[in-house]
Structure 1
Amino acid sequence: MEKRWDTVGEVMTHAVIAVGRDTSFQEIAEILQRWRISAAPVLTGDGRVIGVVSEADLLTAQDQAPESAENLTAGQLMSVPAVTVHADSPTAEAARAMARGHLKRLPVIDEEDRLVGIVSRGDLLKVHLRTDEDLAQQVRFELLAALGPAYASAVDVHVEEGRITLTGSLPEAAPKALLERLVRAVPGVVDAEARLTAVSGDQEPVTS
């Protein structure tokens, strides 16, 4: 059976390079260079993520205070709050968070905010290298399961670069917001919008 890679936990990297809040400027720079990464999560003593420190944070500190930057610690340099994602979150949610924040990777946390992994753009390519037609087919299947054949056939699925637009009609009992969340949960979908006309239960769906 083909693996669907539905959740962040299925694609994330478990080994993570992280630093403590007291890690020095110089130590951070050496860690980023040694491991060839652009940023690292900042953790408390019990492993909770409290921020992220990046090459950009180091360069900004050097630019603003060149004489004192090297005396700063990760807790003073880090960007807060950290943009994180849970292991059981849909991969599409992680992709949207990266796109909104122009980020290359996200720390993955558990229900107590403890670090359990990291997910990168490269990890998400496992599911996001999908054609628009492939996405459309899976969205139609999900709509069929949620609405049934009669109403699913009345919904047109348009896809452009991973963005889904639903047009047509649907029963009043099927809120647009729920359908949008259903579609966004499909691996590879970047965003979804339902432009649908509601019809009462005694009306026949309008097919195109």
Structure 2
Amino acid sequence: MFAADLMTSPAITIGPDEDVVRAARLMESCGVHRIPVVDAGGALVGIVSRADLVRVFLRPDKDIRDEVRDEVLTKEMCVDPRSLSIAVHDGIVSIRGTVERYGMIGLIESLVRRVDGVVEVRAQLTAQFDDRRIRPEEPASGGRFGRRSLRRP
């Protein structure tokens, strides 16, 4: 018996910048337990196993909550996390409260979903200001300072 008799062909591979959710779906749909990770030239750079993926989704709830609070809300969205209620239980993030603009709600939900270990997001967010119908205005002629400010003496 040879290795070729045991392997999946053609090889199912994934790039190093691919999302772990895509790797998990590939494993499931192809019925494999490991996927080689290859660079742009096709060289092997590693292997992702089901055990590796399980570890990602078994992060402690406290770690997930801290990342949502510190990285997503504070750093990425510039939202004071004390203005929201954030709870995590078994990877399910519940976030409640009021944000500044309606347009922030979907973005917050999307960014929280991308945090490793999050299996579901339950958001009950409202907005102080509904920005869905705002259209940018054309700039006034001469801009903010008028044409005179651009002339040199």
1:187 aligns with: 116
1:127 aligns with: 56
Structure 1: stretches of 5+ with no match in the other structure:
1-17, 20-26, 33-39, 50-83, 202-208
Structure 2: stretches of 5+ with no match in the other structure:
131-153
2:74 aligns with: 144
Q: Distance in 1 between matches of 2:122 and 2:50?
A: 24
Identity fraction in percent: 29
SS in 2 for 1:187: coil
Higher relative contact order (CA 8 A, sep 6+): 1
Shift of 1:158: 2.0
Quickly say closer, same or farther: Cα 1:124–1:178, change in 2 above 3 A.
Answer: same
Shift of 1:146: 2.4
Shift of 1:124: 2.2
Q: Distance in 1 between matches of 2:87 and 2:27?
A: 21
Spell out structure 1 runs of 4+ moving beyond 6 A: 109-112
SS in 2 for 1:188: coil
Query: Which AA in structure 2 matches 1:87?
Result: P
The alignment's TM-score, normalised by the length of structure 1, stands at 0.45
Shift of 1:140: 0.8
- Please report the RMSD computed on the Cα atoms of aligned residues, expressed in angstroms: 3.7
The alignment's TM-score, normalised by the length of structure 2, stands at 0.58
Q: Whose radius of gyration is greater, 1 or 2?
A: 2
Query: What number of residue pairs does the alignment pair up?
Result: 125
